[in-house]
């Protein structure tokens, strides 16, 4: 199969020698995402020529036992069949080190293991630390890495170090600020890579190219031509085995604060100085979030809708309501669906409504960004058999089918003047002839190369939490109702009512 990262003769350069340490390597994330991504990078010949990965965890395992476990995980979750000869070569670079995150001495042993392997191979490595642990361990890992001499410093023998932090990054503004402060005690901001796998998806990355490499769209990308924007992150699954975590967070913290706002900020940014300068892109993203209108607490009820799913049917199967899910607290008011009306108060977007929604147990899994352009005047068609002219709609589908479509109006065949919508679209699989790489493959490669473009900076994280702070404050009172919606529906009626005053409707997905 052709390499999805190939770029003709200008192939991506391999990263420098890297030692990657995965904290929480016996967990689900490493099994489903990280190790399969590393294997696929190995098959595509994009891993560094000198590379090793050390998994850590409290379970006592030998290198051989860990390799066997990883072989099974890659076989089950890789996007393509595992080739025996490639795995054989790749697995020689996989090691395991038992480690208790709370034991400083274990981090010293980790350092000694890394130094021993480096000496044996005659290499000086960059160190990449991946925090695939529960969020409450993030600070302790960073602190103990610093105490063990595993953060970059003069004379350490380490060329550079980076710390990759998974979401959730805090649960509110105060906790996010505290975590940022803790991480920066051992690592500089430029070394901290806050990962959001949505930004590794091809279609999300393509937003910048689509806007700035096509002269026909950027002139229209403003309040003069855009009627409104919708962003939908819909899942047909329930909480599954994540009920314990999800019941403490809800869909607002789990999806909106990170994935959804990240996509929206990319969609609405001003042109950065350069697409090759990570901070010039991240500067513009922060400006978008900072420009989003803050709600007063008393406005939250009229600008947001929160809800929980009740028993219903998904694909013909009867499923439990949220309060019936195992692990959910009795009487929980946690949101499994949220809809909001936002506005960006800057010169480009002032007055353009932005509607966002995210939910579980909806009819299907789909993530889509939709831009509605203003309707043209209808006077030209007066007296003809023309109903109301529809919006031109640009739809960017992030998953499951990655692609972009544009709805335009056209004359239907025949002697009469009839206007009908026509959709022009492309998908990555059909247009480029290769499947999209998994998001983690791109993000891990960028982390090894030191490219921070697709990783979130501390100020953007804090601005996103600041935006939502009044919402959480209002929701903590009894003044904002928790609506219900039947599993398999598109959410509560109140979500449709949120758009009605502006004459808009949710897009049919």
Task: Write down the pTM of the prediction.
Answer: 0.91
Do 387 and 375 meet the contact criterion of CB atoms below 8 Å apart?
no
Res 58: pLDDT = 94
Distance CA 112, CA 109 (A): 5
- pLDDT (tens digit, 9 = 90+) per residue, 479-494? 789 999 999 999 999 9
Quick check: 364 pLDDT over 60?
A: yes
Is residue 468, in this structure, part of any structural domain at all? yes
Mean pLDDT of 50-63: 96
**Claim to verify: residue 259 and residue 341 sit in the same structural domain:** yes
**Claim to verify: residue 250 and residue 117 sit in the same structural domain:** no
**Claim to verify: residue 230 and residue 344 sit in the same structural domain:** yes
- pLDDT (tens digit, 9 = 90+) per residue, 96-141? 999 999 999 999 999 999 999 999 999 989 999 999 999 999 999 9
Alpha helices in 24-172 (DSSP H): 28-29, 35-43, 63-77, 84-91, 104-121, 138-147
Res 376: pLDDT = 82
Is residue 146, in this structure, part of any structural domain at all? yes
Q: How far is CA 54 from CA 66, 93, 214, 453, 509, in A?
A: 10, 8, 44, 26, 43
Do 130 and 455 meet the contact criterion of CB atoms below 8 Å apart?
no
Is residue 314, in this structure, part of any structural domain at all? yes
pLDDT over 90, % of the chain: 75
Beta strands in 111-219 (DSSP E): 126-131, 161-165, 192-194
Res 2: pLDDT = 46
Where b means 16+ CB within 10 Å and e means fewer, 238-272 reads bbeeebeebbebbbbbbbbbbbbbbbbbbbbbeeb
Distance CA 42, CA 20 (A): 14
Res 411: pLDDT = 74
**Claim to verify: residue 161 and residue 293 sit in the same structural domain:** no
CATH code of residue 154: 3.40.50.720
Res 386: pLDDT = 60
**Claim to verify: residue 304 and residue 446 sit in the same structural domain:** yes
Strands 366-373 and 226-234: antiparallel
Quick check: 305 pLDDT over 70?
A: yes
Res 157: pLDDT = 56
Is residue 188, in this structure, part of any structural domain at all? no
pLDDT over 70, % of the chain: 92
Q: How confident is the model at residue 438 (pLDDT cuts 50, 70, 90)?
A: confident
- Tokens, residue 451: 């490219």
Quick check: 9 pLDDT over 50?
A: no
**Claim to verify: residue 155 and residue 204 sit in the same structural domain:** no
- Tokens, residue 61: 């395992």
CATH code of residue 449: 3.30.360.10
**Claim to verify: residue 334 and residue 473 sit in the same structural domain:** yes
Mean pLDDT of 397-425: 82
Is residue 193, in this structure, part of any structural domain at all? no
Residue from 259, 303, 391, 504 carrying the catalytic annotation:
259
Residue 390 has a CB neighbour count (10 Å cut-off) of 14
Task: Single out the residue in 149, 166, 183 at which a domain terminates.
Answer: 166
Distance CA 109, CA 102 (A): 13
Please count the helices (runs of H) and the strands (runs of E) in the chain: 16, 17
Instruction: Please indicate whether residue 303 is annotated as part of the active site.
Output: no
Quick check: 418 pLDDT over 90?
A: no
**Claim to verify: residue 230 and residue 107 sit in the same structural domain:** no
**Claim to verify: residue 205 and residue 162 sit in the same structural domain:** no
Distance CA 26, CA 13 (A): 30
Res 8: pLDDT = 43
Res 433: pLDDT = 60
Q: Which of 422, 424, 369, 373 is nearest to 395 (CA)?
A: 369
Q: How confident is the model at residue 28 (pLDDT cuts 50, 70, 90)?
A: very high
Res 383: pLDDT = 59
Containing structural domain, residue 86: 18-166
Res 432: pLDDT = 65
- HEC string for 364-408: CCEEEEEEEECCCCCHHHCCCCCCCCCCCEEEEEEECCCEEEEEE
Q: Mean pLDDT of all residues in the chain? A: 90
Quick check: 1 pLDDT over 50?
A: no
Give the count of domains, the chain.
2
Q: How confident is the model at residue 10 (pLDDT cuts 50, 70, 90)?
A: very low
Q: How confident is the model at residue 159 (pLDDT cuts 50, 70, 90)?
A: confident
How many Å from the N-terminal Cα to the C-terminal Cα in the chain?
A: 31
Quick check: 384 pLDDT over 90?
A: no
Distance of CA 155 to the CA centre of its chain: 37
Quick check: 339 pLDDT over 60?
A: yes
**Claim to verify: residue 281 and residue 405 sit in the same structural domain:** yes
Res 198: pLDDT = 87
Is residue 25, in this structure, part of any structural domain at all? yes
**Claim to verify: residue 119 and residue 205 sit in the same structural domain:** no
Is residue 5, in this structure, part of any structural domain at all? no
Is residue 180, in this structure, part of any structural domain at all? no
Residue 411 bridge partners (DSSP): 419
**Claim to verify: residue 328 and residue 408 sit in the same structural domain:** yes
């Amino acid at each position: 199969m052709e390499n999805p990262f190939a770029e003709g003769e200008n192939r991506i350069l391999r990263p420098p020698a890297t030692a990657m340490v995965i904290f929480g390597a016996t967990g689900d994330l490493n099994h489903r995402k990280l190790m399969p991504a590393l294997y696929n990078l190995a098959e595509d010949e994009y891993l560094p020529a000198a590379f090793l990965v050390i998994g850590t965890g409290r379970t006592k395992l030998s290198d051989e036992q860990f390799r066997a476990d990883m072989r099974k995980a890659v076989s089950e979750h890789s996007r393509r069949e595992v080739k025996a000869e490639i795995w054989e070569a790749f697995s020689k670079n996989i090691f395991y080190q038992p480690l208790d995150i709370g034991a400083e001495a274990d981090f010293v042993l980790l350092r000694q293991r890394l130094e021993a392997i480096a000496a044996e191979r005659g290499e000086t490595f960059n160190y990449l630390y991946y925090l695939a642990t529960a969020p409450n361990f993030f600070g302790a890992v960073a602190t103990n890495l610093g105490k063990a001499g595993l953060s970059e410093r003069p004379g350490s023998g380490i060329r550079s170090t980076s710390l990759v932090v998974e979401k959730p990054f805090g649960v509110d503004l105060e906790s996010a600020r505290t975590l940022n402060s803790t991480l920066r005690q051992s690592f500089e901001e430029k070394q901290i890579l806050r990962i959001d796998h949505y930004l590794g998806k091809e279609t999300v990355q393509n937003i910048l190219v689509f806007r700035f490499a096509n002269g026909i769209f950027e002139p229209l990308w403003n309040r003069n031509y855009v009627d409104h924007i919708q962003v939908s992150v819909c899942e047909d699954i329930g909480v599954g085995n994540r009920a314990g975590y999800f019941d403490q967070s809800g869909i607002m913290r789990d999806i909106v604060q990170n994935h959804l706002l990240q996509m929206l900020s990319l969609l609405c940014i001003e042109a950065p100085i350069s697409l090759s300068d990570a901070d010039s892109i991240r500067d513009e993203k922060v400006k978008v979030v900072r420009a989003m209108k803050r709600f007063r607490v008393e406005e939250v009820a009229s600008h947001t809708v929160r809800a929980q799913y009740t028993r219903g049917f998904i694909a013909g199967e009867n499923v439990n309501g949220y309060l019936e899910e195992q692990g959910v607290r009795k009487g929980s008011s946690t949101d499994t669906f949220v809809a909001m009306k936002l506005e960006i108060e800057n010169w480009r977007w002032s007055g353009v409504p932005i509607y966002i929604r995210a939910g579980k147990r909806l009819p299907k899994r789909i993530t889509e960004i939709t831009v509605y352009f203003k309707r043209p005047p209808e006077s030209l068609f007066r007296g003809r058999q023309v109903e109301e002219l529809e919006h031109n709609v640009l739809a960017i589908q992030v998953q499951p089918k990655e692609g972009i479509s544009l709805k335009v109006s056209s004359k239907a065949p025949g002697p009469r003047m009839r206007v009908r919508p026509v959709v022009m679209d492309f998908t990555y699989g059909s247009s480029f002839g290769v499947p999209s790489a998994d998001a983690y493959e791109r993000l891990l490669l960028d982390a090894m190369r030191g490219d921070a473009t697709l990783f979130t900076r501390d100020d953007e994280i804090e601005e996103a939490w600041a935006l939502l702070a009044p919402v959480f404050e209002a929701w903590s009172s009894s003044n904002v109702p928790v609506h219900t919606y039947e599993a398999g529906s598109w959410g509560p009626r109140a979500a449709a009512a949120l758009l009605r005053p502006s004459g808009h409707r949710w897009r049919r997905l």
